[in-house]
Structure 1
Amino acid sequence: MTTVAVAATDGMLHLELALACEVFGANPEELADPWYTLAICGPGSVRVGRFLMEPDRGLEALAEADTVIVPGWADVEREPPAALVDAVRAAHEAGARVASLCTGAFVLAAAGLLDGRRATTHWEHTAALAARHPRVTVDPDVLYVDNGTVLTSAGKAAAMDLCLHLVRLDHGSAVANTLARRLVVPPQREGGQAQFVTTPLPAPTHHPLEGLFPWVLARLDQPLTVEDLARRAGMSARHLGRHFRAATGTTPLKWLLIQRIRRAQELLETTGETVDAVATATGMGTATTLRRHFQRTVGVPPDTYRRTFRARTPSGASGGPARARRASFGA
């Protein structure tokens, strides 16, 4: 998934478009080489918010990309342009992975890509999306939904979460986390393939759990319990659970498990430690326990995950079809 096309037409939201360009248009060769080849595709001059821009290529080029990003659509009261809808549908039919940011889900829905699928969008517009497209299962409570070749996100910050999720899928957890640190955003927010939401770091400062998160992350190799976390936070287990759900959207134990899995991913990508050693380093106890939770959360066993991300070389060979698409995309 090395070529990314961002669809741009009049009426797109500039923040979502800009963050997609920031994530996929960067060139951090020290993180992954090759990185993505990015093109903004649109029907001639495009007005995005207060800005007038000249796309790199026409909308027809969406069908040549490995991944197509559809930013937020500003006026959800009217139908998106037919040319955009047709181009997004054609791209998906050509084999592209298509992801919408915020209200870009209305474009995907109009193209029929969300029929029979679970999807999300900005919480203010989930009811409108469901009413207009009854064949779509709209989930208003998640950050993003990954259906494999079709992905949707909620608004603003969740759009960044989805972009980082795509980077994680393509380049691994270590690269995605490093990029997130560079962008000064939390890398741990989940809402992906397992269809759960965990937002482990609270946005406000001086939160009651502000000091607890780094303390836990530094001790993932230890057998921590809810009582341990509550004692560290200076509150009862019941109060801890309430604060945790308000801050992260999940329970302390679920959050802790996800952090252990994420640490395991990084170790599998960046070290040659055995699965037993990774299980010990992440507090999972045994390789059997790690394999069970890893498979359930990530979708593949630890050994398969390691082969996928440690086998990648700077040449980044990803098969003949992808090479052909890249050549066409860059023409």
Structure 2
Amino acid sequence: MTQESLHRVVVLVDENSNPFELSCAIEIFGLRRPELGRDLYDFRLCAVSPRTRMRDGFFTLTGVEPLSALERADTVVVPNRPDVHAPRSPRVLAAIRAAHERGARMIGYCSGAFTLAEAGLLDGRRVTAHWMWADTFRRKFPRVRLEPDVLFVDDGDILTAAGSAAALDLGLHVVRRDHGAEVATAVSRRLVFAAHRDGGQRQFVERPVPRVPDESLAPLLAWAQTRLDEPLTVTDLAARAAVSPATLHRRFRAELGTTPLAWLTSERVALACRLLERSESGIDVVARRAGLGTAANLRSLLRRETGLSPTEYRRRFNSA
């Protein structure tokens, strides 16, 4: 695949953009992938000015492409800024609107949701933003359906993340959507980051720091991940951890922001995706090997997670 034929991701950097989310976009979309034997994206940075001062003057970005780079973008990552009250540049908003009208996919990290809303793209749409700014966002944009307690929201052609580490979660979700679970797992391995945290997990779990640290769930999760094809239940997980199901539920909520059953289902769907990508086994066989029981259950859960049927998913991502 030539560089010209790759999906083009363009990050629009505005005055006082946050370097962290910019770095997340570079890590996910901008790196060469020799471990995969191919690159995944054609990645560009653009800005209104040839010299763009980053947040709090940490550094000045130079040598990037002009705003016209958005005219050829397949995906646009919109700028975020820590001052959510300052209006965005009219030129930036106009360029974002034009790219979206042309059919580009839009990604907003953290306060990037404010940018998308100012551009007029979010009325009636589902989005998320950092929990600290939820009240401000609702006041400024009452017609937008804000979901402030999740890591990220995929609303089709507009995707938003809560910020900070959730930008990596959303980035890996986009890679999974574009290239399949196997490639997303390889990217997460290089990041040394969790391969999959569901977007519906909570952004922030209010929890006092214990005087004696709790025993990590990691050994239990590793044990379960090697037995996903078995009829594991939440009761089985609790027995393995030597706690009651209620205690296990509390620990999952505290450490992972999800429930044991939701985690188990998510892991099984991810395994089913990898099996569909790696082999030509029948759908019934994939469902059994992933611990999902029946082909009907696999179809329902896979469509909920990816928007695709098993046949469509395999056609798109199978490398066997």
Q: Scaled by the length of structure 2, what TM-score is found?
A: 0.90
- Specify which of 53, 74, 78 is matched with residue 47 of structure 1: 53
- Give the Cα–Cα distance (whole angstroms) in 1 for the partners of residues 218 and 177 of structure 2: 29
The one-letter amino acid of 1:47's match is R
Could you say which residue in structure 1 is the equivalent of 2:149?
141
Could you say which residue in structure 2 is the equivalent of 1:89?
97
- Give the Cα–Cα distance (whole angstroms) in 1 for the partners of residues 202 and 115 of structure 2: 27
- Give the Cα–Cα distance (whole angstroms) in 1 for the partners of residues 59 and 175 of structure 2: 27
- Give the Cα–Cα distance (whole angstroms) in 1 for the partners of residues 54 and 13 of structure 2: 8
- Specify which of 22, 25, 42 is matched with residue 20 of structure 1: 25
- Runs of 4+ in structure 1 deviating by more than 6 angstroms, as ranges, are none
- Give the Cα–Cα distance (whole angstroms) in 2 for the partners of residues 198 and 127 of structure 1: 17
Could you say which residue in structure 2 is the equivalent of 1:187?
195
The 1:311/1:66 distance shift into structure 2, 3 A limit, reads farther
Number of corresponding residues: 304
SS of the equivalent of 1:268 reads: helix
SS of the equivalent of 2:103 reads: coil
- Specify which of 11, 36, 40 is matched with residue 41 of structure 2: 36
- Give the Cα–Cα distance (whole angstroms) in 2 for the partners of residues 254 and 276 of structure 1: 22
SS of the equivalent of 1:221 reads: coil
1:250 counterpart = 2:261: no
Unaligned stretches of 5+ in structure 2?
A: 1-5, 204-208
- Give the Cα–Cα distance (whole angstroms) in 2 for the partners of residues 297 and 146 of structure 1: 10
Asked if the contact 2:52–2:62 (Cα under 8 Å) also holds between the matched residues in 1, the reply is yes
The one-letter amino acid of 1:261's match is V
1:7 counterpart = 2:15: no
Deviates more, 1:242-251 or 1:3-12: 242-251
- Give the Cα–Cα distance (whole angstroms) in 2 for the partners of residues 271 and 135 of structure 1: 45
Asked if the contact 2:129–2:162 (Cα under 8 Å) also holds between the matched residues in 1, the reply is yes
SS of the equivalent of 1:106 reads: helix
- Give the Cα–Cα distance (whole angstroms) in 1 for the partners of residues 176 and 202 of structure 2: 16
The one-letter amino acid of 2:26's match is C
- Give the Cα–Cα distance (whole angstroms) in 1 for the partners of residues 215 and 68 of structure 2: 48
Displacement after TM superposition at 1:287 (Å): 2.1
Could you say which residue in structure 2 is the equivalent of 1:303?
311
The one-letter amino acid of 1:27's match is R
Write out aligned runs for 1:200-239 (5 A).
207-239=215-247
- Give the Cα–Cα distance (whole angstroms) in 1 for the partners of residues 146 and 215 of structure 2: 31
The 1:236/1:208 distance shift into structure 2, 3 A limit, reads farther
**Identity percentage of aligned residues:** 44
- Give the Cα–Cα distance (whole angstroms) in 2 for the partners of residues 129 and 182 of structure 1: 35
- Specify which of 272, 275, 291 is matched with residue 280 of structure 2: 272
- Specify which of 146, 153, 156 is matched with residue 161 of structure 2: 153
SS of the equivalent of 2:169 reads: helix
Displacement after TM superposition at 1:32 (Å): 6.2
Q: Scaled by the length of structure 1, what TM-score is found?
A: 0.87
Higher relative contact order (CA 8 A, sep 6+): 1
Could you say which residue in structure 1 is the equivalent of 2:302?
294
Could you say which residue in structure 1 is the equivalent of 2:206?
none
